[in-house]
């Protein structure tokens, strides 16, 4: 696979799969442009070399073909601004004559944005004919959409087979995502702590199982911790619990003990009498929560307990908040953990934050710039750490 930074794009039309799946408000204004910003360095390098750029992406989940609500045309003006005023052409169909003609006439330094790929059902089905039509638009294929790398869609994986090994590559964003993930997965400095939180144990079971093979310590916080507390014989009141996962949780605790992996559960919790920002709150040992009360954040002792583990770690992977951080009363635990990760990073640890809500949390605290890497791909990162092969990565790195 060619190295993107070394590749000379002069006179070349690069077809780039980006992840421009940004949130829009009712007026079709972009409310968070991080995903667009993340693709800018890749686009700029190609333009600077004297190449031209054809961008393709999905936006939302359109059900029945084209609708204005999910049109990428709403992104054209902002994209042009992000690229420093470069004119952005738009094709209102991602395949077909207009796309073919506009792409064909594209000159060096020009950018063409194609309409939403998911207006065609063939995209998510990974249809070869559709992928071939997209492939015909560019000379080389660049995948810079880590957020959809876990999907075997036409534009993220299938398309790669229509380009020879020397004409398909990762973009800068994809490259840095893969490099950071690989560093944690295969070259983790020890001790390696994985901090796993969030609401649902069922979503995180596979990642926990895979981490048992790699991590030195696993911190479990958030709502999912209470299923483990229950498995360990605790009384958890009305806290979140996935009854059908208690058995699996117990097995995981037993396997961790055999493997010598330390599982850290929060010793205490901030409990509330209802799931509400203005609920009555109190502190309680996590394994003895009164009936009618629920744990919505880790307590002060747990913050110190977890901070000590994080402080002595050389590699940190964080996925999922420690509590209901969206509400101020239950934010403290997640913030303490974020600060501990920042502190460990300052003293040389490599820290990777991945997964929608933990990324939202570090952004909320203004700490995103103080960890080693913040991943843009929640689902993709999760699947990577579950040990699965991501089709978007495999399609390119396998070459051929
Ligand atoms: P997930 O998508 O599974 O990572 O879960 C993220 C969500 O978990 C966030 O919206 C949090 O508000 C929620 N959460 C974290 N801790 C708790 C808790 N103790 N009880 C209920 N929800 C929680």
* Ligand 1 near 392 CB (within 6 A): no
CA of 65 to the centre of ligand 1 (A): 34
Q: Is the peptide bond before 386 cis (omega within 30 degrees of 0)?
A: no
Three-state SS for 233?
A: coil
The residues pairing with 169 across neighbouring beta strands, listed in sequence order, are 142
165 Cβ neighbours under 8 A, 6+ residues apart = 1, 399, 400
E-strand ranges in 21-174 read 52-56, 88-91, 111-114, 140-143, 168-170
Task: Based on the residue annotation, tell me whether 379 is a catalytic residue of this protein.
Answer: yes
Domain at 188-385: CATH architecture? 3-Layer(aba) Sandwich (3.40)
Number of Cβ within 10 Å of residue 333's Cβ equals 27
The closest residue, in CA terms, to atom 1 on ligand 1 is: 198
**pTM for this predicted structure:** 0.92
**How would DSSP label each residue in 116-141?**
-GGGSHHHHHT-HHHHHHHHTT-SEE
The closest residue, in CA terms, to atom 18 on ligand 1 is: 223
Cβ–Cβ under 8 Å, residues 252 and 207: no
Give the pLDDT confidence score for residue 108 in this predicted structure.
Answer: 97
Give the pLDDT confidence score for residue 399 in this predicted structure.
Answer: 65
Give the pLDDT confidence score for residue 376 in this predicted structure.
Answer: 86
Cβ–Cβ under 8 Å, residues 324 and 332: no
> 4-174 and 188-385: same fold?
yes
Separation of alpha carbons 400 and 162, rounded Å:
10
* Ligand 1 near 234 CB (within 6 A): no
Task: Based on the residue annotation, tell me whether 10 is a catalytic residue of this protein.
Answer: no
Cβ–Cβ under 8 Å, residues 265 and 306: no
Compute and round to an integer the Cα radius of gyration of the chain. 23
Q: Which of 195, 198, 318, 334 to mutate to test ligand 1, by most ligand atoms within 8 A of the CB atom?
A: 198
Give the pLDDT confidence score for residue 48 in this predicted structure.
Answer: 98
Three-state SS for 283?
A: strand
Taking alpha carbons only, the member of 146, 184, 196 closest to residue 396 is: 146
Per-domain residue ranges of the chain: 4-174, 188-385
Task: Based on the residue annotation, tell me whether 274 is a catalytic residue of this protein.
Answer: no
Q: Which of 223, 327, 362 to mutate to test ligand 1, by most ligand atoms within 8 A of the CB atom?
A: 223
Strands lying side by side in the sheet with 168-170: 88-91, 111-114, 52-56, 13-17, 140-143, 168-170
Nearest atom in ligand 1 to 319's CA: 4
CA of 340 to the centre of ligand 1 (A): 20
Separation of alpha carbons 257 and 385, rounded Å:
21
Given 13, 17, 35, 133, which residue is catalytic?
Answer: 35
Number of Cβ within 10 Å of residue 101's Cβ equals 11
Give the pLDDT confidence score for residue 262 in this predicted structure.
Answer: 98
Given 200, 255, 311, 314, which residue is catalytic?
Answer: 200
- pLDDT tens, the chain, 400 aa long: 999 999 999 999 999 999 999 999 999 999 989 899 999 999 999 999 999 999 999 999 999 889 999 999 999 999 999 999 999 999 999 999 999 999 999 999 999 999 999 999 999 999 999 999 999 999 999 999 999 999 999 999 999 999 999 999 999 999 999 999 999 999 999 999 999 999 989 999 999 999 999 999 999 999 999 999 999 999 999 999 999 999 999 999 999 999 999 999 999 999 999 999 999 999 999 999 999 999 999 999 999 999 999 999 999 999 999 999 999 999 999 999 999 999 999 999 999 999 878 999 999 999 999 999 999 888 999 999 999 999 999 999 876 4
Task: Based on the residue annotation, tell me whether 45 is a catalytic residue of this protein.
Answer: no
Number of Cβ within 10 Å of residue 213's Cβ equals 9
* Ligand 1 near 377 CB (within 6 A): no
* Ligand 1 near 296 CB (within 6 A): yes
381 Cβ neighbours under 8 A, 6+ residues apart = 146, 177, 181, 319, 354, 355, 375
Q: Which of 324, 326, 337 to mutate to test ligand 1, by most ligand atoms within 8 A of the CB atom?
A: 324
**Angle at the Cα of 292 from the Cα atoms of 289 and 295, rounded to 5 degrees:** 45
Given 60, 109, 356, 387, which residue is catalytic?
Answer: 356
pLDDT in tens, 158-197: 999 999 999 999 999 999 999 999 999 999 999 999 999 9
* Ligand 1 near 222 CB (within 6 A): yes
CA of 334 to the centre of ligand 1 (A): 11
Cβ–Cβ under 8 Å, residues 255 and 230: no
Domain at 4-174: CATH architecture? 3-Layer(aba) Sandwich (3.40)
CA of 371 to the centre of ligand 1 (A): 22
The residues pairing with 60 across neighbouring beta strands, listed in sequence order, are none
Cβ–Cβ under 8 Å, residues 252 and 206: no
Give the pLDDT confidence score for residue 276 in this predicted structure.
Answer: 98
126 Cβ neighbours under 8 A, 6+ residues apart = 152, 153, 154, 157, 158
* Ligand 1 near 321 CB (within 6 A): yes
Separation of alpha carbons 304 and 56, rounded Å:
46
Nearest atom in ligand 1 to 321's CA: 15
Cα-Cα-Cα-Cα dihedral of 271, 272, 277, 278, to 10°?
Answer: -130
**CA 304 → CA 88, 268, 287, 363, distances in Å?**
51, 11, 17, 22
Strands 268-272 and 281-285: antiparallel
The closest residue, in CA terms, to atom 15 on ligand 1 is: 323
The closest residue, in CA terms, to atom 6 on ligand 1 is: 198
């Amino acid at each position: 696979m060619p190295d993107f930074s070394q590749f000379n794009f002069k006179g070349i039309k690069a077809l780039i799969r980006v992840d421009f799946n940004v949130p829009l408000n009712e007026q079709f204004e972009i409310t968070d442009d991080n995903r667009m910003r993340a693709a800018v360095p890749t686009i700029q390098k190609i333009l600077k070399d004297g190449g031209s750029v054809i961008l393709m992406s999905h936006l939302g989940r359109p059900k029945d073909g084209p609708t204005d609500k999910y049109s990428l045309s709403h992104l054209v003006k902002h994209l042009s601004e992000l690229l420093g005023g470069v004119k952005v052409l738009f094709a209102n169909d991602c395949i077909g004559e207009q796309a073919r003609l506009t792409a064909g006439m594209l000159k060096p330094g020009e950018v063409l944005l194609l309409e939403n790929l998911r207006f065609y059902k063939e995209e998510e089905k990974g249809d070869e004919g559709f992928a071939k039509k997209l492939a015909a638009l560019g000379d080389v294929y660049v995948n810079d959409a880590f957020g959809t790398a876990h999907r075997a869609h036409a534009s993220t994986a299938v398309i790669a087979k229509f380009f020879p090994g020397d004409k398909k590559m990762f973009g800068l964003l994809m490259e840095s995502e893969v490099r950071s993930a690989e560093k944690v997965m295969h070259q983790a400095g020890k001790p390696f702590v994985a901090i796993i939180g969030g609401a649902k144990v069922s979503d995180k079971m596979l990642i926990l199982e895979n981490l048992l093979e790699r991590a030195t310590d696993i911190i479990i916080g958030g709502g999912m911790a209470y299923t483990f507390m229950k498995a360990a014989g605790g009384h958890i009141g009305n806290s979140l619990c996935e009854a059908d996962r208690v058995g699996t949780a117990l097995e995981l605790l037993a396997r961790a003990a055999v493997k010598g992996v330390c599982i850290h559960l929060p010793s205490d919790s901030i409990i509330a009498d209802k799931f509400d920002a203005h609920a009555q709150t109190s502190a309680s040992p996590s394994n003895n929560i009164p009936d009618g009360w629920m744990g919505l954040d880790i307590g002060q002792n747990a913050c110190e307990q977890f901070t000590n583990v994080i402080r002595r770690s050389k590699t940190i992977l964080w996925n999922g908040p420690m509590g209901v951080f969206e509400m101020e009363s239950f934010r403290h635990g997640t913030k303490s953990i974020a600060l501990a990760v920042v502190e460990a990073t300052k003293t040389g640890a490599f820290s990777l934050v991945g997964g929608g809500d933990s990324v939202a949390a570090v952004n909320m605290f203004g700490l995103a710039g103080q960890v080693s890497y913040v991943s843009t791909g929640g689902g993709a990162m999760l699947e990577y750490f579950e040990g699965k092969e991501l089709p978007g990565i495999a399609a390119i790195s396998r070459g051929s």
